[in-house]
């Protein structure tokens, strides 16, 4: 991913002409997501050192924190190119269109990029008053453009809207700007900041980014509590793991974990305190009493898979 985004970022920095952004330019750029829109905010452990736990360490909760950090790192790589465009005046301005480029890629001779943001009326039943489509495209000189990043945004400002951003790894392979360990296929991120909690959903169809193929769902409340669900598939071992974690701002919480292999299916439910120490390994018949009602999955709440 860094081969696609960070190299392209250098292109725009090196090639940008002097100029300023108008208020209308800024309105178009507000359609592009920022890192904070897509980040998973899993609470950190309140102590810098892990204490000796009476029952045991909440390893699965720590795994969720590690996964969240990896996801945030991957998102930052995706948005490297997006962030650079914010500081560059567009080369074309029309009433409902802004265009940047094309610019030559100094890191990959013969490759150039172009960015388009289109504003249009949203669907009649949409809650938002404005809608935008954007694309980051690359090509070999003289050839057709291929979409590297694209997405849409519904809303009049960066905060308080909802959108989707897609990264197309196969386009990087076609352009020859990929790294050897880059995945194939697409990474799709959907986000919604129109209510509390804000939500982020991600799907990566094939491996990469130091992770196995996976899906995740995150809901973060303004008080620091939230939910973090993710699915991990390991084709080499034939395993499928689903983890749903519900947490408070101090890091305490509960997790429902389902682990499947070709031979068996096992479910484990856990509760832990703010130091990531297990308070028990769940007995399904008494989990509500032991965990506390405020940490139990709300009735009827589901995650689409």
pLDDT of 160: 73
Q: Which of 119-128, 204-213, 228-237, 268-277 has the lowest mean pLDDT?
A: 204-213
H or E segment and range at residue 9: helix 2-15
Q: Are 54 and 282 in contact (CB under 8 A)?
A: no
173-192 pLDDT per residue, tens = 899 887 776 677 888 889 99
Phi-psi region at 160: left, alpha or beta (left = phi > 0; alpha = psi -120 to 50): left
Residue 16 in this model has a pLDDT that exceeds 90: no
248-298 pLDDT per residue, tens = 988 899 888 887 878 778 888 888 888 888 887 764 533 334 444 444 443
pLDDT of 97: 96
Q: How far apart are CA 232 and CA 239, in angstroms?
A: 8
Q: Are 182 and 167 in contact (CB under 8 A)?
A: no
Strand-pair category, 97-104 with 111-120: antiparallel
CB-neighbour burial class of residue 78 (10 A; exposed 0-12, middle 13-18, buried 19+):
buried
Contacts of 233 (CB under 8 A, 6+ apart): 212, 213, 214, 239, 240, 241
Q: Which of 10-24, 34-48, 57-71, 89-103 has the lowest mean pLDDT?
A: 10-24
pLDDT of 181: 65
Q: Alpha carbon 49 to chain centroid distance?
A: 29
Closest C-alpha to 24, from 198, 138, 202, 156: 156
- Which 3 state secondary structure label does DSSP give 125? coil
Q: Are 3 and 172 in contact (CB under 8 A)?
A: yes
Closest C-alpha to 133, from 153, 148, 155, 113: 153
Supply the mean pLDDT for the chain.
76
Q: How far apart are CA 253 and CA 179, in angstroms?
A: 39
- Token pair recorded at residue 201: 């959903």
pLDDT of 142: 82
Residue 1 in this model has a pLDDT that exceeds 60: no
Burial state string for 181-218 with b = 16 or more CB within 10 A and e = fewer than 16: ebbebebbbbbbbeeebbbbbbbbeebbbebbbbbbbb
């Amino acid at each position: 991913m860094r081969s696609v985004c960070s190299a392209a970022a250098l292109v725009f920095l090196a090639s940008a002409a002097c100029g300023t952004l108008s208020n209308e330019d800024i309105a178009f750029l507000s359609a592009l997501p920022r890192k904070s829109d897509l980040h998973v905010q899993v609470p950190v452990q309140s102590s810098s050192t892990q204490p000796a736990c009476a029952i045991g360490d909440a390893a699965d909760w720590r795994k969720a924190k590690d996964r969240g950090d990896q996801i945030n790192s991957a998102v930052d790589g995706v948005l490297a190119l997006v962030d650079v465009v914010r500081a560059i005046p567009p080369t074309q301005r029309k009433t409902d269109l802004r265009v940047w480029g094309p610019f030559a890629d100094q890191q990959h001779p013969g490759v150039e990029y172009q960015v388009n943001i289109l504003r249009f009326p949203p669907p009649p039943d949409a809650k938002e008053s404005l809608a935008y489509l954007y694309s980051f495209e690359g090509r070999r000189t003289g050839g057709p453009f291929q979409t590297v990043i694209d997405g849409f945004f519904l809303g009049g400002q960066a905060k308080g809207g909802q959108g989707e951003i897609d990264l197309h790894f196969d386009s990087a392979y076609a352009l020859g700007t990929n790294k050897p360990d880059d995945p194939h296929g697409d990474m799709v991120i959907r986000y919604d900041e129109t209510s509390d909690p804000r939500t982020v959903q991600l799907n990566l169809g094939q491996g990469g980014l130091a992770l196995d193929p996976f899906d995740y769902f995150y809901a973060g409340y303004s008080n620091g509590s939230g939910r973090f669900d993710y699915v991990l598939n390991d084709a080499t071992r034939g395993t499928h793991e689903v983890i749903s974690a519900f947490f408070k701002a101090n890091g305490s919480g509960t997790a429902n974990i389902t682990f499947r292999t070709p031979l068996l299916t096992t479910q484990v439910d856990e509760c832990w305190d703010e130091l990531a120490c297990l308070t028990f390994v769940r007995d399904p018949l008494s989990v509500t009493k032991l965990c506390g009602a405020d940490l139990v999955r709300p009735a009827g709440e589901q995650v689409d898979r």
